[in-house]
Amino acid sequence: MTLFDPARHEPLADEAWSEARAREAIARIVDDSEDAFREDSLWPMHPLDVEGEPEPPLASLYLGASGVLYALDALERAGAARLERNWAPLATALCERYLEQPDFPDDTGGRRLPSFWMGEAGILLVAHQLAPAAWQEERLLACVDENASNPTRELMWGSPGTIVAAATMYERTGRDEYAAAWRKSADWLIAEWREDLWRQELYGMSRYFLGPAHGFAGNVHALTRGELLASPQRQEVERRAVAVAAKFAERDADAGLAQWPATRDASAEPFPPVQWCHGAPGVVASLARIAPDDSEHTDLLVAGGELTWQAGPLVKGASLCHGTSGNGYAFLKLFERTADELWLDRARAFAAHAAQQVERHRSRYGRGRYTLWTGDLGSALFLQSCIDATAAIPTLD
């Protein structure tokens, strides 16, 4: 049984894990990112991130400057970098810049989006992380409320993302208003879970995605992150999620492998991708925290991890969303769940390979890739996670 396309993967580099080399790779990524900043244009878009005509500099979390600032700040807090500049003023300025020049304008000249990864909520969350202010809290609360019944029903644009933002702000501030906003969005999202999967009204189509970027796994991750979803509702969400993961798993029992299709319509793609955004790595990483005492669920997640390991690093590159670093977080999550150091060793092997991919791509394009979820800084955070042997996924945990 073929559960992945070997052509999308490459052999693992024959390089032993070295913490010293990992720290050197992080330092190079940080230095390059700081050097690439320009006051008038922020960070340049990478050719691989530009579709059609080049877009103006972006501010949002997934592809834009806020994601860069999030990563730089996180690496400095972890002791992995000593930044040359105080980035707090830029984090604050990006909030107003976004309102004046939204990242994804429509045909009418532009529109503000309240979303977490692709809109205002994520920008505000990073600004509050670097330079907290009361006005940010109020505007972010409004974003969560505005996005509560977003029909995309997924993490990047919809309420699952702003649920994560609300939970983060509740943890930072302890304000009951954030818990109430979280509950409003969560209740709506759970009520919309009418079938095995949520329906995504996305990009002009109705789809049923399984992975975390746009569907089921990301929604479950958002609902079960932290302690705001109380029993018995949490138990019911976890029970349903375990059943859905088992139902849609494609298994090779003899080889001990499991894979998940990108969408409910499995015939749409002969070989499901093996990426964080779609496929086994993202499902494993998103569902590893739930049902911790369920041995069958653990076995299924382990089978997904084995599939990710056997497939190997991604030819696409090192990124979090659809690259080697994102896949590596599945191993860190399995290490956290099982305490089996095999998974930490595998994560570190992927991290060493990802560091080589970053250098290879920089040489090929003559520049770095300055984004959090598709670029070099996401890989730097993965390297740091492997150093620390922790499994927190950037912006989501």
Query: What per-residue confidence (pLDDT) applies to 108?
Result: 43
Asked if pLDDT for residue 51 goes beyond 80, the answer is no
Q: What's the mean pLDDT when you consider all of the chain? A: 95
- Residue 43, strand partner residues: none
pLDDT for 366-396, tens place per residue?
999 999 999 999 999 999 999 999 999 999 9
156/43 Cα distance (integer angstroms): 21
pLDDT for 257-283, tens place per residue?
999 999 998 666 778 999 999 999 999
pLDDT for 182-200, tens place per residue?
999 999 999 999 999 999 9
pLDDT for 148-179, tens place per residue?
999 999 999 999 999 999 999 999 999 999 99
Q: What is the DSSP string of 374-390?
A: SSHHHHHHHHHHHHHT-
Tokens of 121: 């909520």
pLDDT for 280-292, tens place per residue?
999 999 999 999 9
- Residue 209, strand partner residues: 263
pLDDT for 319-337, tens place per residue?
999 999 999 999 999 999 9
Query: What per-residue confidence (pLDDT) applies to 220?
Result: 98
296/91 Cα distance (integer angstroms): 44
Cα 129 to Cα 67, 105, 173, 194, 375, distances in angstroms: 12, 26, 11, 36, 21
Cα 394 to Cα 3, 54, 97, 197, 223, distances in angstroms: 28, 27, 24, 25, 17
Angle at the Cα of 358 (from 355 to 363), degrees rounded to 5? Answer: 130
pLDDT for 52-85, tens place per residue?
555 678 999 999 999 999 999 999 999 999 999 9
Asked if pLDDT for residue 107 goes beyond 50, the answer is no
381/366 Cα distance (integer angstroms): 22
pLDDT for 215-240, tens place per residue?
999 999 999 999 999 999 999 999 99
Residue position matching structure tokens 């849609």 = 248
pLDDT for 129-141, tens place per residue?
999 999 999 999 9
Q: What is the DSSP string of 336-365?
A: HHH--HHHHHHHHHHHHHHHHHHHHHHHHH
